[in-house]
C-alpha cells in the first residue's frame, strides 16, 4: 500500500515540476490530436451532413461503410499505412513513415468514420425538422447542408468530442507508423505503454492523470457551451 501511494505522490511531483521531457510529450500529443481532428472535421462533417439531407444511389452503402469503419482495428490501420508509407510502398518517396505527419494520417483514418456517422445521426433529425422550410425556400443541397450544419453546431460538439477522445487514446496505429521515437514521435499514450513495460510507473501514471484531466476539462467546456446554447437559443 505505501508503494502504491508513493507512485501517485511521485507522479504528482513529476507533473508539477514541469519536467521538460514530459511537456514535450504532452504538447506533441495535443498537436497531433488537434490537426488530425481538424482534418477529420473538415472532411467528415460535410459528408455526414450530405448523407443526412440528400438521397442518392449508394447512400445506404456509404452509411453502412462508415458505420462499419467506426470499429476499424487501429493496428490494422497502422499496418496498412506502414505498407503504403514504407520505402517499398507507393508513397515511400514522401518519407512520411516515422514522422508526426504519418501519425496524423493514421488518426485521421480512425476519427473520420466516427465524425461522419455521428454527424449523420445528429443531422437527420434536424433535417426532418427543417425539411418543409427549406423546400419552401427552394434551397439547394449545399445551402441545406450549410444551414443545418450551422444550426446544429452545438449538438455537433458531441461528435467532435468523440473524435477527440479517440484521437487522444489511440496507441496501436500511431506506434506502428510513428515508431515511438524520443523527441520526435513519442506521445502520451505510446509513452505510457513504453514506460509501463519498463517499470517506470511514475511517468506512466503522471501521463495517465494528465489525459484524464484533459478529458474532464474538454467535457466541462462542451457542457458549458451546450448550456449557453440552450439558454440563448430560440425556438
Q: What is the pLDDT of residues 121-164, one digit of tens each?
A: 888 877 777 666 666 776 676 777 777 777 777 778 888 888 88
| Average pLDDT estimate for 206-233 | 79
Euclidean distance between CA atoms 50 and 56, whole angstroms: 10
CB contact at 8 A, 9 and 140: no
Map out the domains of the chain as residue ranges. Answer: 17-186
DSSP-derived secondary structure letter, 93: G
Query: Is the pLDDT at 220 greater than 80, yes or no?
Result: yes
Lowest mean per-residue pLDDT among 30-44, 74-88, 149-163, 172-186? 149-163
Query: Is the pLDDT at 231 greater than 70, yes or no?
Result: no
Euclidean distance between CA atoms 170 and 190, whole angstroms: 8
pTM assigned to the model: 0.87
Closest to 235 in 3D by CA, of 151, 125, 146? 151
The class that CATH gives domain 17-186 is mainly alpha
Name the more confident of 216 and 143.
216
CB contact at 8 A, 110 and 72: yes
CB contact at 8 A, 38 and 112: no
Query: In degrees rounded to 5, what are phi and psi of residue 70?
Result: -65, -30
Closest to 174 in 3D by CA, of 163, 190, 160? 190
C-alpha cell at 3: 508503494
Amino acid at each position: 500500500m505505501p508503494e502504491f501511494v508513493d507512485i501517485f505522490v511521485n507522479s504528482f511531483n513529476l507533473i508539477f515540476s514541469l519536467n521538460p521531457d514530459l511537456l514535450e510529450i504532452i504538447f506533441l500529443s495535443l498537436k497531433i490530436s488537434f490537426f488530425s481532428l481538424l482534418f477529420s472535421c473538415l472532411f467528415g462533417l460535410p459528408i455526414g451532413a450530405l448523407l443526412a439531407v440528400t438521397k442518392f444511389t449508394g447512400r445506404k452503402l456509404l452509411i453502412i461503410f462508415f458505420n462499419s469503419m467506426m470499429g476499424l482495428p487501429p493496428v490494422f490501420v497502422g499496418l496498412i499505412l506502414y505498407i503504403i508509407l514504407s520505402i517499398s510502398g507507393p508513397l515511400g518517396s514522401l518519407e512520411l513513415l516515422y514522422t508526426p505527419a504519418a501519425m496524423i494520417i493514421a488518426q485521421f483514418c480512425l476519427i473520420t468514420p466516427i465524425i461522419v456517422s455521428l454527424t449523420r445521426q445528429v443531422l437527420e433529425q434536424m433535417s426532418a425538422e427543417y425539411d418543409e422550410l427549406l423546400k419552401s425556400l427552394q434551397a439547394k443541397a449545399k445551402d441545406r447542408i450549410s444551414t443545418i450544419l450551422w444550426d446544429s453546431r452545438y449538438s455537433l460538439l458531441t461528435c467532435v468530442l468523440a473524435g477527440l477522445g479517440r484521437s487522444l487514446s489511440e496507441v496501436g496505429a500511431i506506434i506502428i507508423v510513428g515508431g515511438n521515437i524520443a523527441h520526435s514521435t513519442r506521445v502520451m499514450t505510446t509513452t505510457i505503454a513504453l514506460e509501463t513495460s519498463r517499470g517506470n510507473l511514475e511517468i506512466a501514471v503522471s501521463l495517465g492523470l494528465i489525459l484524464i484531466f484533459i478529458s474532464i476539462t474538454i467535457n466541462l467546456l462542451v457542457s458549458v457551451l451546450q448550456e449557453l446554447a440552450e439558454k440563448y437559443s430560440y425556438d
